[in-house]
Amino acid sequence: MIAGLFMGLGLFVLSGSAAQGQLNSNTATVTLQATLGESLTVTAAPTSGTNVTFALVSGGTATGSAPVAMTTSWVMKSSRASVTMTGYFTSATQALAGTGSSPSYIPTSEILGQVTTGAPTSFTAFTQTPGTGALGTAGASLVLFTQAISGTNRASSRSDNLNLEINLTSQPQLPADTYTGTLNLQAQAL
């Protein structure tokens, strides 16, 4: 009987411990911070070959050997309203230069661009002057497209083809030579 009493008392003590419930620790916190930075990139290359070449026509118009494939990609803040792509040369009077010690030049007024999915849907000379803070060179630029940015395309891209021509009708006496120059393509988010 005494053994039964101790046994019952032991069960009572064990039951009392189990009845106290769970024991929880304090709550530790960790701050998470994730940043998605803005980005704006341009890639461009002729759709065939490594250069756009022209078989110039004295007093006439020559079409580029291939369009320039341009891809513009962006991730923008909500405050941005548009992305603008501009093509420009560093000099309006010397866009392409001939060889030799006293070379002849092809000015930007004789180089025309067309982007059927952009702003100049017909061939237009690279003679625009950018506004304050805009990209390009005075008298040697051409806006190729302006893309509105909204909540549905803050992170997006677009692909366009730039077709080029050189029109020598205003320079029929250009000497035979190889003329080279660099067209710059740059996008700006506003």
Query: In this predicted model, what pLDDT tens digit does every residue of 46-97 receive, in sequence order?
Result: 999 999 999 999 999 999 999 999 999 999 999 999 999 999 999 999 999 9
Q: Tell me, yes or no, whether 54 lies in a domain.
A: yes
Residue 2 has pLDDT above 60, yes or no: no
Tokens of 40: 């704006």
Number of domains in the chain: 1
H helices within 33-167, ranges in order? none
Q: Which helix (H) or strand (E) holds 39?
A: strand 39-46
Query: In this predicted model, what pLDDT tens digit does every residue of 100-124 receive, in sequence order?
Result: 889 999 999 999 999 999 989 999 9
Q: What pLDDT does 174 receive?
A: 95
- Pairing outcome for strands 124-125 and 111-114: antiparallel
- Of 52, 50, 45, nearest to 164 by C-alpha is 52
Q: Tell me, yes or no, whether 73 lies in a domain.
A: yes
Q: What pLDDT does 100 receive?
A: 81
The single-letter code of the amino acid at 17 is S
pTM of the model: 0.85
Dist. CA 58–CA 173, nearest whole Å: 7
Q: Tell me, yes or no, whether 34 lies in a domain.
A: no
Q: Tell me, yes or no, whether 26 lies in a domain.
A: no
The domain that holds 131 is classified in CATH as 2.60.40
Q: Tell me, yes or no, whether 100 lies in a domain.
A: yes
Dist. CA 57–CA 172, nearest whole Å: 9
Residue 90: φ, ψ to 5°: -80, -15
Dist. CA 121–CA 162, nearest whole Å: 10
Contact 52, 98 (CB under 8 A): no
Q: Tell me, yes or no, whether 173 lies in a domain.
A: yes
Dist. CA 144–CA 3, nearest whole Å: 99
Tokens of 61: 């118009």
- pLDDT exceeding 70 applies to what percent of the chain? 90
Q: Tell me, yes or no, whether 83 lies in a domain.
A: yes
Residue 77: φ, ψ to 5°: -70, 160
How many angstroms from the chain centroid is the CA of residue 43? Answer: 7
Q: CA–CA distance from 9 to each of 5, 12, 20, 21 (Å)?
A: 6, 5, 17, 20
